[in-house]
Structure 1
Amino acid sequence: MLELILCSMLTVLPDYLFRRYAQGKRIGVEITLYTMWYELRWGITACLLLTISLITMIFYFHPSTKSVTAVFRTVTILPETVGRVDEVFVGINQKVAAGDPLFRLDSAQQDAAIETARRQIAELDAQMEVARTELVTADAQIQEAESAYQTAVDEYEMKAQLLKTDAVSRREVERLETTIEGRKSAVAATIANKRTLETKISALLPAQKASAEAALAQAQVDLDKTIVRAGIAGTVQQFTLRPGDVVNSMLRPAGILVPELAGRGTLIAGFGQIEAQVVKQGMIAEATCIGKPFTIIPLVVTEVQDVIAAGQLRPTDQLIDVQQMGKPGTLTVFLQPLYPGALDDVPPGSSCIANAYTNNHDALADPNIGTLKWTYLHVVDAVGLVHAMILRIQAMLMPVQTLVLTGH
């Protein structure tokens, strides 16, 4: 309507004034409803063409969208294991800090695993003490075996001398040789037994203890998992968990945690694909939100997604017909406030209306710009005022439409 009124002031109104005052024609006499089209045909035709051109220029170079939302992400409250709730620490809509406990699962199995691991560690410590005692015994056995070996050697040497005088039989000397070999093997066996005990004390038992300590640590981790804590500061929502409920990380979430700063500081807008060549990073924008009526929020385009979400393809076991993706998607644009705190009062999830404005200041400052281009770019920048006026009218009418006309 504003565009039509503006264009009529440039076309129909001058045409009427010319015929009324230059040609002397009067409304109701020469200019009637019957003759109006014929008398004002040039002005009306020019008005319609200019209106269409102006609307096209405004909406192309200064795009607008109603698909604007303060998008926020929630965190699902889930345990890492399946279990039955034993204790609940928070309630619905309660604010929590990062690390605060939310609820605890039954930990009987984890407690038993910890106790078993502790007992294994105690048992290995006892085995270590026993092995040290056996090591002392092994030293004594080595000394005993060496003494028996030396005694057999001494006896052999003595009877070997007596054999020369036939004082003893050769059979007795051969028996002593066999005895020496046996005593020598006994010494080697006791030394090997000592080395086995030393290896057991220095390597085997420490390795078994380390494994038991790792099992204890794993059991402690499993026990810690039974206490579900908040990963980030926020507000607990839809948390109706009670002791005795069974929660499952795949099928039965416990609730939702809304992060403290979720959805604050950024608006996400979906502009039409036709504006893909116009909407650029750094453009100035404005928005008005239902959650903050009668307010125009100055924004800036911080990021433009370089793909259209509607065209994404997920591999499945069926061929995808492109016709199924025929519905045009939107260009995702991220908007942030031009001044700090401008979006602080906008509730996360609010629906908004946003305009983005093309700025040709740098192109107009080029000394080599032509006159026609200079005039065209000035017109493009100037018509942005119309869209800004429309946005402000929408900001004033939005509460009326929401509360009165739609009955919400």
Structure 2
Amino acid sequence: MLELIFSALVTILPDYLYRRYRQGKRMGHEITLFNVWYELRWGLTSCGVLAIALITVIFHFHPTAITVQSPFRTVSVLSERAGRVAEVYVTNNAAVAEGDALFRLDTSRQEAAAETARRSIAEVDAALLLGQSEIAAARGQFDTAGAVLAQAEDDLARRTEIAERNNTVVSEQELQRLERAVLQATGARDAALATWDAARTRVNDVLPAQRQRALAQLAEAETEIQLSTVYAEVAGTVTQFLLKPGDLVNPILRPAGILVPDVTGQGRFVASFKQISAPVLVQGMLVEIACASKPMEVIPMVIAERQGVIAGGQFRPGDTLVDSLDRRRPGTVTVFLEPVFKGHTDGVLPGSQCVGVAYSNRGMAIEAGDIQGFGGVVASVVDGMGIANAIIMRAQAVLLPVKALVFS
């Protein structure tokens, strides 16, 4: 409307004044409703062309955002494992600090496993004490068997020496008996040595390994018990948290609730512009927004960052070929906004929907001499045209409550 009024002032109005005062034609006589097009054809045509040109220039260099949002992050309240709730420590919509306990799962099975592991450790410790006695007993048996073997070897050697001097004194059967006694004593000594080695191996290797396994089982059970209590990862507000003791919680199928952190985006806003506006959207560009959660106020923002890709073109490899006809919806240019003045966005609730408009500003480039001559004049005029969008933005901010409450 503003562009049309401005265009009429420099086209239709001069044409009418020329025909009224230069040619002497009068409204209602020579200029009537039926021949107004013929009489004012040059002014009407010029007005339409100029209005379209002005609207194109204004909306290109001062683009309007399709959507402006205040995004925020949510954290799902999940447990490490599935189980039934034993205790609930907080209520819905409660403010929690980082590390506060939220709820605890039932740990009867884990506590039983921990007690079993403790009993196994005590059993192994008792077996270690008993193993020391077994080692001492096996060593005594080995020493006894060694003494018996030494005695048998001495008897065999003595009787063999006597037989060599006089074979009639010692019979062949006695020598064979002594040899068998030596073999029997040797076997007894080897058996005692094997028993001794087995006792030492059991005490030095087998029982410590069993104790380490029991300790690992105890640590696993205690870890499961510790993980059964779910804590807040960040400070924030717990919402959609309606757990009761006995409820079943599954980290895959059923989260316990949602945690909204206190810091969820550091006051940044996300705005989407049409792709045609990509050449003029640069870092540092001024943007004004108006939000429904903070009505009748225009908040100055600045473009802090522009996303380097358009989300509408992304694809994920799958088992079918990508057809461009399946993606008829064009993507938008995403930019991230930050407030110019600290504290201006404090009243805007996270997740608010807003409207916004960006303004080109090439004043610094003109002052630096990057844009000179006629180009500088045109750039100044184009930058000044942003006042039309500024007026529209303020009108939207004023009429937003009326539109939302009355005409919705």
Instruction: Indicate whether the TM-score tops 0.5.
Output: yes
Q: Secondary structure of the equivalent of 2:87?
A: strand
The residue number in structure 1 matching 2:212 is 210
Name the aligned partner's letter for residue 13 of structure 1: L
Q: In the alignment, is residue 323 of structure 1 matched against residue 325 of structure 2?
A: yes
Q: In the alignment, is residue 133 of structure 1 matched against residue 133 of structure 2?
A: yes
Equivalent residues of 1:264, 1:346 under 8 A apart: no
Q: How does 1:115-126 map to 2 (within 5 A)?
A: 115-126=115-126
Q: Secondary structure of the equivalent of 1:288?
A: strand
Q: Secondary structure of the equivalent of 1:189?
A: helix
Give the deviation of 1:225 after TM superposition.
2.9
Task: State the alpha-carbon separation in 2 of the partners of residues 280 and 203 from structure 1.
Answer: 71
Equivalent residues of 1:264, 1:348 under 8 A apart: no
Query: Normalised by the size of structure 2, how large is the TM-score?
Result: 0.90
Which runs of 5 or more residues in structure 1 are unaligned? none
Q: CA RMSD in A?
A: 2.5
The residue number in structure 1 matching 2:178 is 176
Q: Secondary structure of the equivalent of 1:64?
A: coil
Q: Secondary structure of the equivalent of 1:405?
A: coil
The residue number in structure 2 matching 1:397 is 399
Name the aligned partner's letter for residue 176 of structure 1: L
Task: State the alpha-carbon separation in 2 of the partners of residues 148 and 280 from structure 1.
Answer: 101
Q: Secondary structure of the equivalent of 2:67?
A: strand
Q: Secondary structure of the equivalent of 2:302?
A: strand
The residue number in structure 2 matching 1:10 is 10
Give the deviation of 1:208 after TM superposition.
1.8
Number of matched residues?
A: 406
Task: State the alpha-carbon separation in 1 of the partners of residues 94 and 313 from structure 2.
Answer: 40
The residue number in structure 2 matching 1:274 is 276
Task: State the alpha-carbon separation in 2 of the partners of residues 392 and 404 from structure 1.
Answer: 19
Which among 331, 334, 351 is matched to residue 332 of structure 1? 334
CA distances 1:102-136 after superposition (whole Å, capped 9, x unpaired): 22222211111111111111111122111122112
The residue number in structure 1 matching 2:72 is 72
Q: How does 1:191-210 map to 2 (within 5 A)?
A: 191-210=193-212
The residue number in structure 2 matching 1:302 is 304
Task: State the alpha-carbon separation in 2 of the partners of residues 196 and 13 from structure 1.
Answer: 117
Which among 227, 230, 233 is matched to residue 228 of structure 1? 230
Which among 236, 239, 242 is matched to residue 241 of structure 2? 239
Equivalent residues of 2:60, 2:277 under 8 A apart: yes
Task: State the alpha-carbon separation in 2 of the partners of residues 187 and 141 from structure 1.
Answer: 8
Equivalent residues of 2:85, 2:245 under 8 A apart: yes
Q: Secondary structure of the equivalent of 2:65?
A: strand
Give the deviation of 1:346 after TM superposition.
0.9
Q: 1:368 to 1:79 in 2, by over 3 A?
A: closer
Give the deviation of 1:273 after TM superposition.
1.8
Equivalent residues of 2:66, 2:274 under 8 A apart: no
The residue number in structure 2 matching 1:387 is 389
Equivalent residues of 1:263, 1:349 under 8 A apart: no
Give the deviation of 1:264 after TM superposition.
4.8
The residue number in structure 2 matching 1:257 is 259
Task: State the alpha-carbon separation in 1 of the partners of residues 108 and 220 from structure 2.
Answer: 15
Q: Segments of 4+ in structure 1 off by > 6 A? A: none
Give the deviation of 1:312 after TM superposition.
3.3
Equivalent residues of 1:264, 1:344 under 8 A apart: no
Task: State the alpha-carbon separation in 1 of the partners of residues 145 and 344 from structure 2.
Answer: 93
Task: State the alpha-carbon separation in 2 of the partners of residues 35 and 299 from structure 1.
Answer: 50
Task: State the alpha-carbon separation in 2 of the partners of residues 162 and 101 from structure 1.
Answer: 92
Give the deviation of 1:70 after TM superposition.
0.8
Q: Secondary structure of the equivalent of 1:349?
A: coil
Task: State the alpha-carbon separation in 2 of the partners of residues 384 and 267 from structure 1.
Answer: 22
Q: In the alignment, is residue 108 of structure 1 matched against residue 108 of structure 2?
A: yes
Q: How does 1:43-62 map to 2 (within 5 A)?
A: 43-62=43-62
Give the deviation of 1:350 after TM superposition.
0.5
CA distances 1:62-84 after superposition (whole Å, capped 9, x unpaired): 21124111122322223232222
Q: Secondary structure of the equivalent of 1:324?
A: helix
Give the deviation of 1:304 after TM superposition.
2.3
Equivalent residues of 2:295, 2:401 under 8 A apart: yes
Task: State the alpha-carbon separation in 1 of the partners of residues 307 and 106 from structure 2.
Answer: 46
Q: Which moved more, 1:126-135 or 1:305-314?
A: 305-314
Equivalent residues of 1:84, 1:246 under 8 A apart: yes
Among the aligned pairs, what percent are the same residue? 47
Give the deviation of 1:334 after TM superposition.
1.6
Which runs of 5 or more residues in structure 2 are unaligned? none
Q: Secondary structure of the equivalent of 1:277?
A: coil
Give the deviation of 1:251 after TM superposition.
2.6
